[in-house]
Structure 1
Amino acid sequence: MENRSDDLTATLRHPPLDASIEPPRHSLWSLFRVVLSRSAVSWGGLALMAQLEQHYVEREAQLTPAAFSDLVALAWMVPGPVGCNVAVQLGHAIRGRSGAWVAGVASVLPFFALMTLFAIFYRTPLVHAVASRTLLNHFSVVLGMLIGVTWYRQTRALVRGRLEWAAALLACIALAIATSGGAYVAILCVAFGAGWLASPAQSIPLAIGMTRSDVWLLAALAALIAVFALPLPYPLESVLLWPRLAGAGMTLFGGGFSALPVLKTLFVTPAIGVTNDDFTLAFSLSPLSPGPLLNVVPFFGYLVDGWLGALVATLALFVPSGCLVVLAQRHLHRMKANPRFEHAMRVLRAGTTAFLAIAVWHIAVRVPLQPAYFATATFAALCFGKFKLPAYAVYAAVGTACGLWLAYG
């Protein structure tokens, strides 16, 4: 019994990164219940990560603080929703592949159900009557300021050197004139390549041993990216929508708001049929729902193809990134130890700040230049930037003020 306790303590201090090593046993039902309950009350990926750390590191000591910080660092290095990527890795560290699937499903289920339910009621005449053009414009202004404050904070944290500033500015210019998914893929590839070539460190081979299944997984992900990047004839846009969405998910770094221009390229087209109003309202209300800001995907999926569309859209966006983060987890130490790779990732993350800037631009050009919207923008900027109020409180205040104005103004 004493030897078994010593072995378990050693495992917790140095959690395994290789799937072939058996992690500490933990009930799958308990894992599902904890992650589900934390995801249901977490607004944004950062909140979910904080609650998972509090439970599994501080309360149950399933992982050490250093091990959990490694999970968070890797989640930022790969594309996709950061909070869900951390949950998937946590499940993998505790119960292997089955734990990764259970934790991933539990982290997605709350916002999937809520946003799909909202999409159902969105089709009713009552919602269309309430969602007037004035209210949509005010909500768009709040969303734009929320993204703008996020862009400001990310720029201060990620964009520092000349090369990083050049990557961010050039990416903004390229995104402003981009009309296809290929431009987004090209921007990320160029930013990563520039960071790799400009690294002051000497060339060190990135030696990563791959199994045959790993190679097949990477090939499948590369094929999805190619489907998203290549221009397609009009009929194939709807036929290949879900594979293209999966490929688009492989280009999303730096948080959910960076997805706005990418997802707009996919869904707001004549072939798919999602309107600009549908798209803007979904992103405006995404901070009101638990989960990462990519919780809008089930909403769009339902508008396209009902319940089946909501389910397939969610799987298409979240499963590939979850598979990739589990694969990368086994090689985390080798990647972090390579200075050229780390420098390339810094430039890549600097380039992704352009997605936020362009998202603000897309919103700003559609809002009329009227004093009421400037007042809303000023109010939202103060709430988010200075007072750090939650998004739902700002939306509630603006919605109430707008309703009173429409009723009595």
Structure 2
Amino acid sequence: MAQLENHYVEREGRLSRVAFSDLIALAWMVPGPVGCNVAVQLGHALRGRAGAWVAGIASVLPFFTLMTLFAIFYRTPLVRAASSQILLNHFSVVLATLIAITWFKQMRALVRGKLEWSAAVLGCVALFYARSPAAYVLMLGAAFGTGWIASPVRDSHIVVSLARGDWQVLASLSVFLVLFALPLPHRYELALLWPRLAGAGMTLFGGGFSALPVLKTLFVTPAIGISDNDFTLAFSLSPLSPGPLLNVVPFFGYLVDGWAGALIATLALFVPSGCLVVVAQRHLHQLKANPRFEHGMRILRAVTTAFLAVAVLRIAVRVPLEPVYLLTALFSGICFAKLKLPVYAVYGTVAAACGLWLAHGALH
């Protein structure tokens, strides 16, 4: 987003700073990857519908290519042999630390009043015991509804006139969301995976790491066949690839169904949110001007912090409680929070230290 602002606002002056800020605000209001949603809106503002498609493809293509190539390389026996359980545990600790710091920053930015704190705590409890996608949909819907009802402004109404095409888009997204929420027999999980992934994208607020529990519900099942180790490693290495942290989706798609799976998975997750943000952009002023809608979104964003907290917890319980992993957590925390080191430097250092440790053990 900073690169887009620098090029189109400061250098070329195609948009004003206020107009670009409106794009960012709307991207946070709708589900999906924030950076890609801003790019799609920018393309739509500059070149209409064709510009939105070109901007969306341009923002997705780099990480789609890299993560699919990584999935191909990951399938080789050499990488399988090198991915020892000890290394995966250390990478999991680094990932949990990174998510924990992201959670702390979001809590400071999004959770302030008593209602937001209550929503965040109740969201953590609900997610901890949640075992179905329906729980995610109900929790987010209840959060927005609570914020709408509890808004101090009671006499405002949203008046939005939708075109026929907008209604068709919203109806299609609602069908995907229902498919994701409904409990399905195991034999239908693979057949309906991609429509359900599109519905899952409609629940993803608050950044890429918040998607970890949601995507795990879809992909780490006996019918799909992706293991816990595959899933955690993909999320561990996602910050090393350009693009949003949801760049893991083509990796999972390739593991399920090769190149076709990588392409369909990417389209299923990113196209619906792009369509939704374009529809919402036409009615941005009505949405922003309504205090009840904004209050509902505040509570909704507070609840999404629970996805990060539960993601940390679910990773932590899989790692043995040993001093060496606590040392990795301390090292990662200092690197990310204090030294502001890039993610690849931390992963590289941990991988090198783990390799030396394993080599030393093999010699003895």
Tell me the SS of whatever aligns to 2:243. Answer: coil
Tell me the SS of whatever aligns to 2:190. Answer: helix
Query: Of the candidates 78, 81, 87, which is equivalent to residue 126 of structure 1?
Result: 78
How far apart in 2 are the matches of 1:388 and 1:167? 30
The correspondence of residues 171-320 of structure 1 with structure 2, limited to 5 A, is 171-320=123-272
Query: Of the candidates 76, 93, 103, which is equivalent to residue 45 of structure 2?
Result: 93
Deviation at 1:255, TM superposition (A): 0.2
How far apart in 1 are the matches of 2:345 and 2:5? 26
Deviation at 1:129, TM superposition (A): 1.1
The residue aligned with 1:391 is 343
How far apart in 2 are the matches of 1:190 and 1:202? 18
- Paired AA for residue 172 in structure 2: A
Percent identity for Structure 1 against Structure 2? 73
Deviation at 1:286, TM superposition (A): 0.3
1:348-370: per-residue Cα shift (whole Å, max 9, x none)? Answer: 00000000000001100000011
Q: Which runs of 5+ in 2 are unaligned?
A: none
The residue aligned with 1:40 is none
1:380 aligns with 2:332: yes
1:2-23: per-residue Cα shift (whole Å, max 9, x none)? Answer: xxxxxxxxxxxxxxxxxxxxxx
Tell me the SS of whatever aligns to 1:239. Answer: coil
The correspondence of residues 25-64 of structure 1 with structure 2, limited to 5 A, is 49-64=1-16
How far apart in 1 are the matches of 2:273 and 2:74? 29
Count of matched residue pairs: 361
The residue aligned with 1:404 is 356
1:235-265: per-residue Cα shift (whole Å, max 9, x none)? Answer: 1111100000000000000000000000000
Deviation at 1:203, TM superposition (A): 2.5
The residue aligned with 1:44 is none
1:170 aligns with 2:147: no
Tell me the SS of whatever aligns to 1:203. Answer: coil
Deviation at 1:393, TM superposition (A): 1.0
The residue aligned with 1:333 is 285
1:323 aligns with 2:270: no
The residue aligned with 2:112 is 160
Deviation at 1:107, TM superposition (A): 0.2
The residue aligned with 1:149 is 101
Deviation at 1:334, TM superposition (A): 0.6
How far apart in 2 are the matches of 1:275 and 1:203? 51
- Paired AA for residue 43 in structure 2: G
Tell me the SS of whatever aligns to 2:224. Answer: coil
Query: Of the candidates 308, 313, 317, which is equivalent to residue 361 of structure 1?
Result: 313
1:33-89: per-residue Cα shift (whole Å, max 9, x none)? Answer: xxxxxxxxxxxxxxxx00010000011111011110000000000000000000000
How far apart in 2 are the matches of 1:95 and 1:221? 24
- Paired AA for residue 53 in structure 2: W
- Paired AA for residue 131 in structure 1: S
Deviation at 1:404, TM superposition (A): 1.1
How far apart in 1 are the matches of 2:197 and 2:245? 16
How far apart in 1 are the matches of 2:340 and 2:210? 20
Deviation at 1:387, TM superposition (A): 1.6
Deviation at 1:202, TM superposition (A): 2.2
Tell me the SS of whatever aligns to 1:367. Answer: coil
Q: Which runs of 5+ in 1 are unaligned?
A: 1-48
Tell me the SS of whatever aligns to 1:290. Answer: coil
How far apart in 1 are the matches of 2:17 and 2:170? 30
* Structure-2-length-normalised TM-score: 0.99
Greater than 2 Å deviation, 4+ residue runs:
none
How far apart in 2 are the matches of 1:407 and 1:213? 61
Deviation at 1:407, TM superposition (A): 1.1
What's the RMSD between the two structures over aligned residues?
Answer: 0.6
Deviation at 1:279, TM superposition (A): 0.2
- Paired AA for residue 97 in structure 1: R
Deviation at 1:322, TM superposition (A): 0.1
- Paired AA for residue 230 in structure 1: L
Deviation at 1:389, TM superposition (A): 1.4
- Paired AA for residue 152 in structure 1: F
How far apart in 2 are the matches of 1:390 and 1:157? 22
1:315-341: per-residue Cα shift (whole Å, max 9, x none)? Answer: 000000000000000111110000000
How far apart in 2 are the matches of 1:72 and 1:356? 21
How far apart in 2 are the matches of 1:394 and 1:208? 48
